[in-house]
Structure 1
Amino acid sequence: MKQLKKKSSAWFMLLTAVVTLVTGCSGGNNASAPATTPAAEATQAPAASETPAAATEAPKEPAANLNGREIRISHWWDATPVGDSEADELARERIKAVEEKYNVKIKYLNTEYWSTAEKLSSSVMASDPFAEIVRLPDGFIWGLMHGGFLTPLDDYLKDSLIDQSVIDSMRFGGDKVYGLESWYSPNDSGVFYNKRIFKEAGLKDPQQLMDEDNWNWNTMLDAAKKLTIDKNGDGKMDQYGLAGAHYVISELLIASNGGKIYDEATQKAVFDSPASMEALNFLHKLYTQDKVFKPNEGNDWEDPAKYFGEGTVAMYPGGLWEIEGRILGKMKDEWGYVYIPKGPQADKYYDPLGQTAAYAIPKGVKDADTIVKIWEDLQPFDSWQENRRLSMENILPDEASIANAMNDEDKVERVFGGRYGGLGVKDQLDKVTEKFLKGEITPSTGVAQVIGTAQAAAKKVLSGEQDKEKK
């Protein structure tokens, strides 16, 4: 299971990183956050009566000259834009402009995923950081941040084009900003639904319910019950309302009710909070009482998407990133995409951000203020929304689904402040939800058994004890 979840998280981070630094296409980090608009796009043009900016603004200071210095940017893949796509061409143009502006040479490093944190910490301790900018894999930022291996960035982001909410999210519950992200997508997860199944049953589909502001846990459950049926009369259900992996559904339901798995501000595991417990009780009910989830046949990660593609389930909660590899070309029926339905405690739709991947500047990197400016100049601030829409148009089936993915009506909000990636918190919760499948345990009993262990796991990472053990 760990391998499967790692695959999901890594892909999600890869897409976000490629978007923000290389391609400018959509995909989003980390990534649980409100939709943001880059300041450059939000700034209005002056009215005709206003004095032109050129006449009132002081001349800008010339860019720093780094005398041909090599600026190394590390990922766990080769991020060099070498393709013939328009996005890669634009990325190459940005790189060339940056190299000329600051008199530098941009070089991309391909650092093995699990070796990144160790390479950063050891090189900082040797007073020779291996890269100027490092994409940190999910979860590693916690230990490095608290261990003093990263450069605080607050002073270098005062006039940044990055939206302030995104900058603040890079504090990871602390006082200082240690990470860099250029933007967060409005949402990255929702519910895929089969239009044929709903139409044949004469039911309003999730999009219609959402248009009526009536898409919530109750209406989803009502539809799931009516669509879980024995079609051939052999005494066995051969169509189900829902499919999914318990460790994915738990996160989505908790967020949709305004709850969290972990609270960055207090550094506490909080999946025992009232809102979170309400979600877990609902999940338990879906599996054991309502029995609207199609049982997986040995592969909790691959089976649900396969069932949806085969047309044997009506609704599949999942991520937008799954479409190209798991739905397109495999789905015979018409389908759509909507948000995760609202929980009883929610006043809007919520999408979680559980992962913690981010760009960071190692402690000891010279000219950190200029390095931040270089990183910003490599970002496609002026085109990310357009590129995301183009990407969504290529993979989503209709205008309503595209509008949902783009959050055109500002109906969904990403959940900042609840990221748990790399802390070991979710692993403990997953042990409980796994037992829901068989009805072996109740949420209250299961959560009581693991909440303390989850908190201890987080404390171990945040205190640096885990890193010391590895050494």
Structure 2
Amino acid sequence: MELSEKLTRDTDNDGINDTYAMVMNPSAFAEAVIMSNGGKLVYVDENGDYKHGLDDAEVVAALEWAADYWKTEFDLVPAHWNGHKDAFLTSQAAMYLGSEWESTTLTQDQMADDWGLVTFPKGPNATGYKAIYGDPGWVIPASYSKEEAEDIAFALNLWYGPVPGYDGPDDWKTVLYPLYRDERAIDETIAMVREPENSMVNLTIAISDSVNVGLLSSDVYWNKATVAESIEAQKGIWQAALDKVNAK
């Protein structure tokens, strides 16, 4: 909040902000806030069943803080759906909540200013900083035999694994240095979140479109519902989707 207040500026004193602290995607913001506070939207219990954590204290507290942030004038929602990065590139916003791979698109031609990469701030319930891993997992269909599946896994491991001669403990940094202006983004931020204890998997992507943090956050962002009302509205929808998965 303190940093956002400093970064949000009306430079020409016309009563309209010219630079905002953050370009806002409510769904991505809510997800980051929840997980950086140690909250789990979906988790697997001791029986191997999927459960939602919408009522968990960490999730509720995170969404309440997000709702407080959204009551300020610190964030900017772009006029068109794909304008989030453009707002950052054109200095309309000082911070952009994006994925690590997007470093490849912040080229010299697009981003004239220097930039860096940090994790989302740590929530009060968290024990450490967290990075969200949300890519789909690799799945081998059961139609393959055990031997065929092992051959596929072996080939995938060769393709996805480190190249011989470039598989030292710090060799992963080599391909990243040309993509960043600030080496601290690699040596500090990425090095930290590569550690297993600093990463979290967002399991909502593995369930269904009904289990979506965007559906949870959008009504709160647009002042259509309180956090408690939004959670209550989504609980039944999420539970029904999880019940289908658990029944398989």
Number of residue pairs matched?
A: 240
Q: 2:91 aligns with which of 292, 311, 326?
A: 311
Q: 1:296 aligns with which of 66, 75, 78?
A: 78
Q: 1:272 aligns with which of 37, 55, 67?
A: 55
CA contact (8 A) 2:211 2:237 kept: no
Matched, 1:390 2:170: no
SS in 2 for 1:238: coil
User: CA, structure 1 residues 277+314, in 2 after alignment: closer, same or farther (shift >3 Å)?
Assistant: same
Q: Deviations over 1:309-367 (max 9, x none)?
A: 01121111211111223565322212111111100011210112234321425344252
Question: How far apart are 1:252 and its partner, in Å?
Answer: 1.1
| Runs of 4+ with >6 A deviation | none
C-alpha separation in 2, matches of 1:318 and 1:412: 21
Larger radius of gyration: 1
What are the ranges of 5 or more consecutive residues in structure 1 without an aligned counterpart?
1-220, 465-471
Worse-superposed segment, 231-240 or 426-435: 426-435
| Equivalent residue letter for 1:415 | M
What are the ranges of 5 or more consecutive residues in structure 2 without an aligned counterpart?
none
Question: How far apart are 1:408 and its partner, in Å?
Answer: 8.4
| Equivalent residue letter for 1:247 | S
Question: How far apart are 1:460 and its partner, in Å?
Answer: 2.3
C-alpha separation in 2, matches of 1:397 and 1:326: 10
C-alpha separation in 1, matches of 2:64 and 2:108: 33
- TM-score (norm. length: structure 2): 0.85
CA contact (8 A) 1:257 1:279 kept: yes
Q: Which residue of 1 aligns with 2:100?
A: 320
SS in 2 for 1:391: coil
Matched, 1:405 2:185: no
User: CA, structure 1 residues 370+410, in 2 after alignment: closer, same or farther (shift >3 Å)?
Assistant: closer
CA contact (8 A) 2:25 2:77 kept: no
Q: 1:429 aligns with which of 174, 196, 213?
A: 213
Q: Deviations over 1:26-81 (max 9, x none)?
A: xxxxxxxxxxxxxxxxxxxxxxxxxxxxxxxxxxxxxxxxxxxxxxxxxxxxxxxx
- TM-score (norm. length: structure 1): 0.47
Matched, 1:451 2:230: no
Q: Which residue of 1 aligns with 2:204?
A: 420
Q: 2:10 aligns with which of 215, 218, 230?
A: 230
CA contact (8 A) 2:44 2:50 kept: yes
C-alpha separation in 2, matches of 1:304 and 1:274: 30
User: CA, structure 1 residues 355+420, in 2 after alignment: closer, same or farther (shift >3 Å)?
Assistant: farther
C-alpha separation in 1, matches of 2:199 and 2:193: 14
User: CA, structure 1 residues 448+326, in 2 after alignment: closer, same or farther (shift >3 Å)?
Assistant: farther
Q: Which residue of 2 aligns with 1:358?
A: 138
Q: Which residue of 2 aligns with 1:380?
A: 161
CA contact (8 A) 2:204 2:211 kept: no
SS in 2 for 1:336: coil
| Equivalent residue letter for 1:454 | W
Q: Which residue of 1 aligns with 2:115?
A: 335
| Structural RMSD (CA) | 2.6
SS in 2 for 1:415: strand
C-alpha separation in 2, matches of 1:408 and 1:425: 27
C-alpha separation in 2, matches of 1:434 and 1:258: 21
Identity value in percent: 20
Question: How far apart are 1:412 and its partner, in Å?
Answer: 6.7
Q: 2:68 aligns with which of 272, 285, 297?
A: 285
